[in-house]
Amino acid sequence: MGIEAAYSPAEMMTAVAARELRDGEVVFVGIGLPNLACNLARATHAPNLVLIYESGAVGAVPERLPVSIGDPSLVTGSLMVCGMADVFQSFLQNGRMEVGFLGGAQIDRFGNINTTVVGEYGRPAVRLPGSGGAAEIAIHAKRTVVISRLSRRAFPERVDFITSPGHVARGGTRRQLGMPGAGPVKVVTDKAILEADDATGELVLAALYPGVEAGEVCAGIGWTLRCRPGLKQVDPPSTAELALLREVLDPHRLYLKG
């Protein structure tokens, strides 16, 4: 035994993200931990999960760990390969994407995400990659799950730039701005799960990982984090989940190293 006790934060985050997916759902998959989480869910409780990658692979069944979002293994054996105009118009804008995964350098109190710049847009201290498909995924996916490690730098009260809108974004709420999707309903971190408060859209502490105190979570958040009454405890990764992650899905520990 002992395997239950010894797991990395990345393994825990992946297992938690996988449990957010329900069998048969259509998922817009990102690279890295989201990709691992989707394939873990497919190998456990959600064998009928439909993985769609923004590169155009629909119903992908990658036989190796894709290191990029356009890996050739996403094509081999998939249900459909379409152009990117179809991905964004006929799938995403059409309302077919049930879950989208997002990450980012900064996530704020209302779930807005910044993947564009740290500092001023015209003269950034750090230039980040930009939106990619994230802005439209945040707007259109029926719900999104955000994955990010806690730190005050990663969770400021306000992001420097809103690349992907959260619950209260530039100019108002999602409803006021006419966004079709529900936005970031959960944020999976390395210590806890945050959820959006139904009334205010503010991210609040919803569940703690084994052995974590609420104070540790608050220390990694740049605003005064409110707690849900009756905080839940999250189960650690099971022996089966860990075995799949380590032996089948990421044997070279490309994404699970930390």
Which chain residues interact with another protein by CB under 8 A? 31-32, 54-57, 67-72, 74-76, 81-85, 88-89, 92-93, 112, 116, 121, 123-127, 129-136, 139-140, 161-165, 169-172, 174, 177-180
Complex with another protein: residue 164 or 189, whichever CB lies closer: 164
Whether residue 11 lies in the annotated active site = no
Complex with another protein: residue 82 or 214, whichever CB lies closer: 82
Q: How far is the CB of 136 from another protein (least distance, A)?
A: 4
For residue 13, give every residue at least 6 positions away whose Cβ sits within 8 Å of its Cβ, in sequence order, or none: 33, 147, 149, 188, 189, 190
For residue 199, give every residue at least 6 positions away whose Cβ sits within 8 Å of its Cβ, in sequence order, or none: none
Alpha carbon distances (Å) from 190 to 73, 105, 125, 148? 29, 15, 26, 7
Q: How far is the CB of 126 from another protein (least distance, A)?
A: 7
On whether the CB atoms of residues 154 and 187 are closer than 8 A, the answer is: no
Please return the burial class of 86, using the count of CB atoms within 10 Å of its CB with bins 0-12, 13-18 and 19+: middle
Q: How far is the CB of 89 from another protein (least distance, A)?
A: 8
Complex with another protein: residue 37 or 46, whichever CB lies closer: 37
How remote is the C-alpha of 209 from its chain's centroid?
A: 17
Cα angle, residue 95 at apex, residues 89 and 99 outer, rounded to 5°: 110
Q: How far is the CB of 35 from another protein (least distance, A)?
A: 10
From 25, 54, 136, 195, active-site residue: 54
Complex with another protein: residue 40 or 87, whichever CB lies closer: 87
Complex with another protein: residue 7 or 161, whichever CB lies closer: 161
Complex with another protein: residue 27 or 134, whichever CB lies closer: 134
Q: How far is the CB of 237 from another protein (least distance, A)?
A: 23
On whether the CB atoms of residues 205 and 238 are closer than 8 A, the answer is: no
DSSP 74: G
Dihedral sign (CA 115, 176, 188, 30): negative
Indicate left, alpha or beta for 230 from its phi (over 0: left) and psi (-120 to 50: alpha).
Answer: left
Q: How far is the CB of 90 from another protein (least distance, A)?
A: 11
Alpha carbon distances (Å) from 184 to 40, 86, 104, 216? 21, 24, 12, 22
Active site residues: 54
